[in-house]
Amino acid sequence: MNAPTRTVSERDMANAIRALAMDAVQKANSGHPGMPMGMADVATVLFNRFITLDPADHRWPDRDRFVLSAGHGSMLLYALNHLLGYADMPMEQLSQFRQMGARTAGHPEYGHAQGIEVTTGPLGQGISTAVGLALAERMAAARFPGLVDHYTWVIAGDGCLMEGISHEAGDFAGHLGLGRLIVLWDDNRITIDGDTALSTSTDQKARFAAYGWHVADCDAHDPESIAAAITAAKADPRPSLIACRSVIGFGAPNKQGGHDVHGAPLGADEIAAARAHLGWPHEPFVVPDAIRDAWARVSARGAAARINWLRKLAAHPDRAAFEAAQAADPAPLAPAMAAHKAKLIADKPKVATRKASEMAIEVVAGALPFVVGGSADLTGSNLTRAKSQKSVKPGDFSGSYIHYGIREHGMAAAMNGIALHGGFRTYGGTFLVFADYCRPSIRLAALMGVPVTYVFTHDSIGLGEDGPTHQPVETLAGLRCIPNLTVIRPADAVETAEAWEIALASAATPTLLALSRQNLPTLRSDAAENLSAKGAYVLRDVAKRDVTLIATGSEVEIALAAADLLAAEGIAAAVVSAPSFELFTAQPDDYRTAVLGTAPRVGIEAAIRQGWDAVLRSDDAFIGMTGFGASAPAPALYAHFGITKEAAAAAARKLTGK
């Protein structure tokens, strides 16, 4: 007679995670086994008792979101997704951990595998992006009651909480009262250098309590303690931080609890000792069927929840609106924006491109209800708010305008989360020089292919009196070098409207608008085609070019004036407006050749030359900045730094020899 089958415990389920983590890291001879082993019990209780998701439909809109902010412990997530039955995470993927072509990268990569909600490598980014996910859930629930009600769960480490961005995100989440956000802090008190006492004395629980969070703690290796803390967190209307007191590398008897287990394979001897210590006699990458069945029940529970939700969706009166928001189709914008551009050409307003952006946002807000915006406390300067937009406030998430406060980095991360959640397209504003505060989040948006829009104003020395601390002379170059980021510096109101069309049509690329403080004339006389989408185009042509003047943004006006000076001297100068080098580089060779021509070229931009290789050759001239700016009115600054029509004309004369 067969022996009775032993009941599978949550410790057994957790040990499967531990074994897979140590085996994968050992085979790769690279990785971080300590966190997955230390947090395996917490993850098991979370998934076994609380989380709702269905691997059969990894994009189901009302699923819970799980973010592994401590992304170095990626094997925790890969092991979970394998055990839950995600179709693209077979055992072969785990055994190829960190190898070329595998989905199991060294840190979780959004889009590489199902069940990965956020790319989490830089510490602090996961928890901060999760704030955006949780905010999007609340905004969607306010719009579609009965269709949206899920949680955002985060496993974060000491490093996530030490990084400064976590302050911005935690404060913001506490202010808004994002009660569907629950952070499980891996309180193992170990960093790479050693004990956390080497570098911090912060009482993290007191810190988050001061933000207005619900705070609790638990024994990270006692399932009932874990479950009680999570149950209390779900019952509290505030965001929650649960300090999970864990032992890093739990189960490795000779290495657990020390920093050596953080980021290196355990070694064959210690793995053998861990197997004996945990009562795990199975070969590497082998999980018994009974334990697999236990994990399959988690997925079955999620599948039942999804089927029930689909029934609710089918009968819901707002089904069409909900599905339209999920699709985020920009097509309804086209007729309204066409009418707006026609009016611009007729009226020829002289406005700053930040004002032109505000005018475009009015059109966007009227046509696309799924667009939400905001600013890092610069609404009146960035001009990012349409008259129809209502503020998002604690207890009222029905609005479409978010006051991020003076938290540029947190804003950019939250925007990523809002976009990743689905159901919204989002934009946020600050001064262009503060893009440096946003840069890690901008880079991740580009890496993930998240189509957020950055509305960054005061884009050059043209902002004037605030001086060199606020004048972003090098910032455009630094942004243009980020792969998969479209930077657009429009020259007038028409190009600005076109930039908004480009941004909202983008499916997998973030877009950054660099906008002027100073007023600029309307230069375009035709908007039948979105010429900005080509990146650069001939704004004024001549029969036979002696020189080509190429400019962006506020300097296109200078290029046109220089062309007039040259024409009076018999020098034929074509003028090219180049709002986006990235879009221009993507055009066919014959188009780029036709736009640039073969004549000598002069580039004009109130910034440094770096990054102009897309349109200038080594022997072409550049009129721009070579150092930092100064504090003075904008006209005086342009004259002082030689960014004038006279300087551009002089450079053209020198190149042509005329």
Q: Is 119 helix (H, G, I), strand (E, B) or coil?
A: coil
Contacts of 117 (CB under 8 A, 6+ apart): 65, 66, 67, 110, 133, 420
**Structure tokens given for 185:** 């802090």
Distance in angstroms between the alpha carbons of the first and the last residue of the chain? 104
Evaluate whether 455 touches 511 at the Cβ level (below 8 Å): no
* CA gap 439, 67 in Å, rounded: 21
Query: What are the b/e assignments for 486-497, b being 16+ CB within 10 Å?
Result: bbbbbbbbbbbb
Evaluate whether 106 touches 31 at the Cβ level (below 8 Å): yes
| Residue of 67, 56, 81, 40 lying closest to 180 (CA atoms) | 67
* CA gap 29, 611 in Å, rounded: 39
- Specify whether 646 is catalytic: no
Evaluate whether 459 touches 513 at the Cβ level (below 8 Å): no
Q: Is 105 helix (H, G, I), strand (E, B) or coil?
A: coil
Evaluate whether 455 touches 438 at the Cβ level (below 8 Å): no
* CA gap 145, 137 in Å, rounded: 11
Q: Cβ–Cβ contacts within 10 Å for residue 350, how many? A: 12
| Residue of 84, 117, 150 lying closest to 299 (CA atoms) | 84
Token look-up 């689905």 returns: 422
Q: Cβ–Cβ contacts within 10 Å for residue 507, how many? A: 8
**Structure tokens given for 195:** 């004990």
Evaluate whether 234 touches 152 at the Cβ level (below 8 Å): no
Quick one: how many helices (H) and strands (E) in the chain?
25, 18
Token look-up 């475009």 returns: 360
Q: Which one from 408, 495, 557, 582 is the annotated catalytic residue?
A: 408
DSSP 432: G
Question: Angle at Cα 68 formed by Cα 67 and Cα 72, nearest 5°?
Answer: 155
Q: So which residues are the catalytic ones?
A: 408
